Amino acid sequence: MKMAALDAAPAPTARKGAVYRTVPAVAPDLAQVVFFRSATVRPSAGEAHVHVDGEFHVALKPNGFTRLCVAPGAHSLQAYIDDAPLYAGKAQPKTPAMLEGGKTVFVAVAEMGEGAPVRHRKREAERMLKDAREQRQVISRADSVQPCREPSQQVARRGR
């Protein structure tokens, strides 16, 4: 009887964090990235391991997203599905991204392929992010990721 209950369990999807809302503008000394997965991914799809500059940041489930900030400049952004035990995104980062300060980039996990994220315009991305849940089940190990700040927070810091 317990087996029947387990078999009837829903497919794993992002359910832990807050539902996506439009992200605020980011301070000019930071670049903001919204990394996400589609809700239309096959239910049996494993987690996508997101790596920033060759270091693990988060595991995204279908219909999940993460918001991260880094210093402007050259970075690598990767996402691989079920890449254990080789962790190609960590071992061989190969998707360069030049990120501008004060700008937000929306990228989706490529469900097929070599880990290169797919860039989307804000309007299109936000349609895809409807009902997506923020992923917070692990602690980021990416040293270059830092807390996001809004421009108003930047002004407040200078005034002290």
Whether residue 113 lies inside any domain: the answer is yes
Instruction: Give the per-residue pLDDT at 95.
Output: 86
Whether residue 10 lies inside any domain: the answer is no
Whether residue 59 lies inside any domain: the answer is yes
Whether residue 11 lies inside any domain: the answer is no
Confidence (pTM): 0.81
Whether residue 158 lies inside any domain: the answer is no
pLDDT in tens, 13-27: 444 679 999 999 999
Q: How confident is the model at residue 108 (pLDDT cuts 50, 70, 90)?
A: very high
Q: How confident is the model at residue 4 (pLDDT cuts 50, 70, 90)?
A: very low
| Distance linking the first and last C-alpha atoms of the chain | 63
Is the model's pLDDT at 59 over the cut of 60? Answer: yes
Instruction: Provide the number of structural domains found in the chain.
Output: 1
Whether residue 126 lies inside any domain: the answer is yes
Q: How confident is the model at residue 47 (pLDDT cuts 50, 70, 90)?
A: confident
Whether residue 95 lies inside any domain: the answer is yes
Whether residue 104 lies inside any domain: the answer is yes
Question: Of all residues in the chain, what percent are helix, strand and coil, respectively (each to 5)?
Answer: 15, 30, 55
Is the model's pLDDT at 49 over the cut of 60? Answer: yes
Above pLDDT 70, what percent of the chain? Answer: 79
Structural domain for 74, as ranges = 20-149
Buried b (16+ CB within 10 A) or exposed e, 117-129: beebeeeebbebb
